[in-house]
Amino acid sequence: MKFMQLVWFHFKRICQNIGLISMSFIMPLFMVGGLMFITTSDTNANLSEEFVILNHSEFVEENVYPRLSENLQANFASDSKEAFDQLEQSELAMIYEIPANFPEEGSRIKSHSINGENNDIFFESEFTSVLSEVMTENALSEAGVDFEEIQVAEPSINQSYTPIDGNLVIVVFMTIFFMSYASSLVSADLNKLRSDGVLTRSIVTNARSWQILGSVLAAFSLYNFISAMLVILLICLIFGITITQLPVIIAAILAFCIFNAGFTMVLFRLFKNDQVILMVGIVLSIVFVFLGIGIIDIPSFSFIQYISPFYWLFESLDTGAILPNIPVIALYGLVLFTAGSFKVERLVKV
């Protein structure tokens, strides 16, 4: 009961700290929201870059066109003048022009674009595949070779894991990054309690060491979890992102709450200046991120990425597996927590 009262006391104190809320909730909300706005805007811009296909070949009209997907068939146009006018007015990204003698030797499909070299890999891939099938069938037919088609049942694959949407991965990753960033704020707050003598006075009370520091860390962990979930839910609601694999996301946030508690204790024990704590905490958080995304592309040192909790976060979001990735993150936090010491008496000497 004593511990819960202390947790509630510190949680209310945190919620009254406008500066901390601004840095750990409002700023992440705007930063992640801004990133998603840019991402979705770029995606919509790419989708709006249309192209048309001007076909002058009877061979393509009779043999290739019927086999193309409906999406590509919709890109075929007959009015060349209108198409080039739209290209000049930037209403089209590019024009594919198929000559009348295609696919005779020496004939080539021309690509027109006002923005330099451009291409649509989906069209080129499907068109090439269908053209190859048609040419192969014609060659076999001229040679008098015939194959008997046998229908077989298509195998069914039951996929138990629903992949997490790419935008959701970005939202979760950025939110958790700001959680780690906030660890330095927590350490600075603990350091202020130490400097103001609050921790020193708490020693003479009937509260134990684990209750004194544990209540502070538990309150911040509770706050971090609630704020992170609110940021994710609000961003997904605003941008219409479907939340999948919610247990994995919740487990990852809880694991990082443990990691951040250990990270906080290490910073609190090593440094006694608020500005130094903030600077070192932010720098180390960025380093962990760079290590986790595999920025070090040296085979001999690739193992370094395993020490970053963000590597295991990416693995969990990619595979949808809680084990062993999430426990590894929590274990890192427990190791750091042990290294940071838990005895108040060892930490209040200023």
**Which residues are registered as beta bridge partners of 77?**
54
Residue with tokens 């146009």: 77
Predicted TM-score of the model (pTM): 0.64
Answer for the pair 350, 273: CB distance below 8 angstroms, yes or no.
Answer: no
Q: CA 239 → CA 33, 81, 171, 206, 319, distances in Å? A: 9, 39, 11, 50, 24
Answer for the pair 42, 85: CB distance below 8 angstroms, yes or no.
Answer: no
**Residue 210, both tokens:** 């684990």
Query: Alpha-carbon torsion 10, 13, 15, 19, what sign?
Result: negative
pLDDT at 197: 65
| CA–CA–CA angle 7, 10, 14 (5° rounding) | 135
Spatial neighbors of 123 by CB under 8 A, at least 6 apart, are 51, 53, 72, 75, 96
Tens-level pLDDT at each residue, the chain (350 residues): 677 888 888 788 888 878 778 877 888 888 888 888 887 665 544 434 478 889 999 999 999 999 888 878 888 988 888 888 888 887 788 888 999 988 887 888 888 887 666 677 778 888 888 888 888 888 777 776 665 666 655 555 455 556 677 788 889 988 888 888 777 777 777 777 777 666 666 655 666 666 777 787 888 889 889 999 999 999 999 988 888 888 999 999 999 999 988 888 888 778 777 788 778 888 888 888 888 776 655 566 667 888 889 889 888 888 888 888 899 999 988 888 776 555 555 555 54
The tens digit of pLDDT for each residue in 46-98 reads 434 478 889 999 999 999 999 888 878 888 988 888 888 888 887 788 888 99
Cα(157)–Cα(25) distance, integer angstroms: 42
